[in-house]
Chain A
């Protein structure tokens, strides 16, 4: 076996282990160590990605000394390696962009705890991406939830603790359903490894003996993961959690945590149940309907919001709706569009959160729209970055949002009429709604104010020059570049996703 094939295992273990190590470090060492680990895992994932593109075949990696039906396995293919690389990059940029806020908002003695959470989160995300075992996936789903809860409540204000509690309640409901669904699935098939379960399910489904329990268990798994990733009616914790936690947490939560669950769901679709059975069971139709609701309602709520952070949070609800709508289309093209939107939304939403915090800083720390007037002039870098993010969300060509919307539309057109029309109509309405609230914000950012009005309620608005926060500006630049790459060179990326999905089957 070639050495590079150990990399998925190394990266999971490295972040898990460094989480433990970080607990005894000082604030500064913890930060340095965390950056080092993140960069190391990013490099490993990149190397694995290049290697996988070259080899073009997925492989399974035996954990411990017991072979397949008894031991645990991880599995890496092109899609997994690419996703891992992308998640690491987004996490790195979000952390570096929000660095000053982490240092300022979190108690001195608790900063290293924050990095423990980051490490645990990363390792659980990587494990969700790579694992080939359903029960391992469940355990890491829980680790993911607990560390995300830590990220929300680390600033310890009343708001964030309440948001964390709400998040934990919703997440526990979701994981309860997920666990029960997995248990019934294990009961029917007698396996826990994804590939073995799929064989048994194909056999059982063909026999037709356990169809009702099978559909019920798949339903539980799907609904459980949908609750955890905050599909529309289960989104109540999102605005508080994203709106009041420290900015890196908000960026990481919105762009990575919910996406990890969705990626696991896609994996279950293809590797556990088999896509044909999923489509046959009509469960996708439920996701489709809720996805459409989410697209519209998230945007409507965002329009009604007067707080920039909460507005971006509600926009996340709408974007999760897009992703589930794509899954609900029930075609491979729909799934490709959803995965592309996972990438596109992750890169755009973290950019918006990080840029948004620069703008609120330039307005005396106030997140209210009235105080943000003209802040695009006060912090030019953040203003430009926010405008680019907004354009991408609305779907202006050149940026990633446009490509994902086009992919959704293409996937819809090739579908049956019953799904095509609602999709296209909701896409159109949602795009207009997106444009309303994002353009409203951008126009406000660039509305000049006279010097007298500059005094806001929260305090004196400060002018920030481009040179003042090099790390912050650099991470903004990186995220903008990532966004433009996704928007301009979309074809190779779509090809990569398609080939990765075909390796799933």
Chain B
């Protein structure tokens, strides 16, 4: 168990980061901190993917010169997934930030709980 953990420390770090990001996104009251949590969480997943795709001693999967053997390159699929994932997380972050700006302009606070109380007062 311990030996496995040491050999796969990259994956272990990715999981810890995922946990940090997840709990920040869930528990923080401040919207900006929530968004930072979201980014940490997504990036942790990409770290995990990159770790999984990497094979020690091989190079990036771009054919240079005459090296065409499969043995020379790392697995390109996880890198492709990371790129797709980054595009998705960028757009989600942009959307969240724009929502935050809107809320801040209306209520002059970034605190989700305060906004909720204000909305309740608005109703009465």
Contacts and interface: CB of A to CB of B under 8 A. Distances in A.
A149 B118 CA distance: 22
Contacts of A142: 88, 91-92
B9 interface: no
Interface string A147-187: 00100010010110110111011001101110110011011
Q: Which of A135, A146, A159, A165 has the most CB of B within 10 A?
A: A165
Contact of A172 (B25, B77, B84, B103): B25
A219 to B, nearest CB: 14
Given A179-B45, A179-B85, A146 B34 contact: no
Contacts of B84: 135, 139
Contacts of A381: none
A187 B52 contact: yes
Contact of A146 (B26, B31, B95): B95
B52 A165 contact: no
A226 interface: no
B122 A158 contact: yes
Contacts of B119: 158-159, 162
A162 B21 contact: no
Interface in B66-107: 77-78, 81, 84-85, 88, 91-92, 95-96, 99-100, 102-103, 106-107
Interface string A126-157: 00000000010011001001100100010010
Contacts, number: 84
A192 B77 contact: yes
A183 B45 contact: yes
Given A146-B91, A158-B106, A176 B96 contact: no
Contacts of B48: 180, 183-184
A274 B42 CA distance: 28
Contacts of B100: 165
Nearest to B106: A158
Contacts of A183: 45, 48-49, 52, 81
Contact of A162 (B25, B34, B41, B115): B115
Nearest to B44: A180
Contacts of B99: 149, 153, 161, 164-165, 168
A123 B94 CA distance: 22
Contacts of B102: 153, 156, 161
B96 A172 contact: yes
B54 interface: no
Interface in B38-56: 38, 41-42, 45, 48-49, 52
A149 B78 CA distance: 29
A165 B96 contact: yes
A153 B25 CA distance: 21
Contacts of A146: 91-92, 95
A172 B38 contact: yes
B6 to A, nearest CB: 18
A4 B18 CA distance: 44
Given A153-B99, A172-B38, A176-B42, A161 B81 contact: no
Contact of B45 (A158, A169, A173, A180): A180
Nearest to A167: B99
Q: Which of A149, A175, A183 has the most CB of B within 10 A?
A: A183
Contacts of A187: 52
A139 B77 CA distance: 15
Contacts of A176: 18, 21-22, 25, 38, 41-42, 45
Contacts of B21: 176
A173 B52 contact: no
A162 B91 contact: no
Given A165-B100, A165-B112, A173-B22, 10 more contacts: A156-B102, A158-B118, A158-B119, A158-B122, A161-B106, A168-B99, A172-B38, A176-B22, A176-B38, A186-B81
8 contacts: A142-B92, A158-B107, A158-B118, A162-B115, A165-B112, A169-B96, A173-B25, A176-B42
9 nearest interchain CB pairs?
A176-B41, A142-B88, A165-B99, A187-B52, A161-B102, A158-B106, A172-B38, A179-B45, A180-B45
